[in-house]
Amino acid sequence: MKSTLAHIRPAIPIAPGALPIVGHAMSLFRAPLEFLTDVGAHADLVEVRLGPQPAVLVCDPELTQQVLVRARTFDKGGRLFDKIRQNAGNGLASSAWPEHRRQRPLVQPAFHPGRLPRYATVMQEEAAALTTGWHSGRRIDVRAAMQQYTSRVLLRTLFSATTKPSLLADLQRYVPIMLRGGYWRTMNPVDLLERIPTPANRRHQAAVHQTRHIAATIIGEYRRSGAEHGDLMSMLLAARSEDTGAGLTDEEIVNHVFTLLIAGTETTASLLAWVFHLLGRHPHVAERLHDELDTLPPDRPADLAMLRTLDYTRRVIVETLRLYPPSWLLTRITTTECELGARRLPAGTTVMFSPYLIHRRPDAFAEPDRYDPDRWLPARAKSIPRGAFIPFGGGSRKCIGDEFGIVEATTALVGIARNWALEPEDDTPVRPVPRITLAPGPLPMRIRARAAGSGRRTPPPASAGRPGRRSAG
């Protein structure tokens, strides 16, 4: 007899606290990080309900790895990606496996490692521009500053030749609106609410429409020019299938631009904001970072070769990605009946997994709530289970821009921290704000200028809170 979801429910525990009609949607909307870590810290699979529909939350690193590498069986789908497709179409982040298999080779050359030096130059320039006018004692919102940096980097590497700067300013304004509205639509269990003409719904719909219109306008400008500008847009326009010789249509390129705007700004901005927050709360880590950066030639910007020598800087970024992965909750849908963790899942089952949860499993990471960059020293990292660190996903659907994002974050961290220390104003806990990405809210910090080798302080005792209820540090 063919398995059904009802038949596997006795084998998979149901998360407590489901409400009529909405299920666990309210818990996921109000306190998602606490919900995930409460129900999944020691389980392998847990059933949750998004509205009346059941879903299976995968909590075990090895089982999560199976989901990621079996991309045809566990395809992009579920409520999250259904909502993303409404606005982004079939971009790489949201397309089903057959479409992704066709499009990824067309987009991949834009992110070839050989293009990174050119992109890194833009990143260096924007990191320097961000700090122009800074002075000791100035108060800044680090979250907003990092969003400004990543937006400028993406727009310059994507649209370096556009003749209409006002369009780029509009795009910077629309992206946060789309992110807020997109998250609400993902968690809202009643689809009808999205169609009510509330001010928030109208703002979201207008931002989506205008973003797609601007992208189409710039594509037309590039096609009329016919010039090669060495940027991401030129690469997308030039892409051709090895099998058919066909390129991407304008609609497909708009979808990719839309995806890049959402995924390529918010994710790295969130990562950098968390990096500076954690450095501010852990001065002993900041001191070691500054010591490493002080070994760089003072009169030269840090190029890619220099960045790759900075082992401790890399560990700082990797450990931040562990504690605060920008993509914190993702979904898949089974395309056929399959087995996962000795349970049979029917075709059409929604499967959820959370890098935030996986990265905090106590059986995968010692003292998982503690900020410890040295856990990524080669000898210690060997003990981390396969599949326990997945900030960029895995398998054939691993984020195409992972190296771009790491270089972008490292460039900004090095460019800023060589000359500046960012210090918290007080000890008020900083709580993650789970939306499409896992970001802090407004993050006010004070700037202090530093000279090479300066700023050493006696480290305070290491603190260990429970992030999600209280910031790590």
Q: pLDDT tens, 97-118?
A: 888 899 899 899 889 889 999 9
Write out the CATH class of domain 104-325+391-449: mainly alpha
Give every residue of the chain whose pLDDT is below 70, as ranges. 1-10, 79-80, 163, 182-194, 452-473
Give the list of residues 6+ apart from residue 42 with CB closer than 8 angstroms, or none: 362, 363
The DSSP secondary-structure symbol of 23 reads B
Which one-letter amino acid corresponds to residue 240?
A: R
Please state, in angstroms and rounded to a whole number, the distance separating the CA atoms of residues 196 and 199. 9
* DSSP H or E stretch at residue 50: strand 45-50
pTM of the model: 0.88
pLDDT at residue 43 in the model: 87
For residues 31-68, b (16+ Cβ closer than 10 Å) or e, as one string? Answer: ebbebbbebbeeebbbbbbbbeebbbbbbbbebbbbbb
> For residue 306, which of 318, 297, 315 has the smallest C-alpha distance?
297
pLDDT at residue 201 in the model: 81
pLDDT at residue 338 in the model: 95
Is residue 257 within 8 Å of residue 182, measured between CB atoms?
no
Is residue 17 within 8 Å of residue 41, measured between CB atoms?
no
* The pair of three-digit structure tokens given for residue 100, joined into one six-digit string: 């992704």
Q: What is the phi/psi pair of residue 285, to 5°?
A: -70, -45
Q: What is the phi/psi pair of residue 90, to 5°?
A: -95, 60
pLDDT at residue 189 in the model: 58
* The pair of three-digit structure tokens given for residue 341, joined into one six-digit string: 């963790």
What are the residues facing 74 on neighbouring strands? 334
pLDDT at residue 465 in the model: 40
Cite the beta strand spans of 347-410 per DSSP E: 350-353
pLDDT at residue 10 in the model: 46
Q: In three state form, how does the secondary structure of 239-298 look?
A: CCCCCCCCCCCHHHHHHHHHHHHHHCCHHHHHHHHHHHHHHHHCHHHHHHHHHHHCCCCC
pLDDT tens per residue, range 49-101: 887 788 999 999 999 999 999 999 999 877 667 777 777 777 788 888 888 89
- The domain spans of the chain are 1-69+332-370, 104-325+391-449
Q: What is the phi/psi pair of residue 282, to 5°?
A: -130, 75
pLDDT at residue 259 in the model: 85
Total residues found in the chain within this entry: 473
Tell me how many helices (H) and strands (E) the chain has. 19, 12
* DSSP H or E stretch at residue 422: strand 420-424
pLDDT at residue 467 in the model: 41
* The pair of three-digit structure tokens given for residue 432, joined into one six-digit string: 């993650």
Q: What is the phi/psi pair of residue 435, to 5°?
A: -130, -140
pLDDT at residue 398 in the model: 92
Is residue 353 within 8 Å of residue 57, measured between CB atoms?
yes
pLDDT at residue 164 in the model: 73
Please state, in angstroms and rounded to a whole number, the distance separating the CA atoms of residues 162 and 6. 55
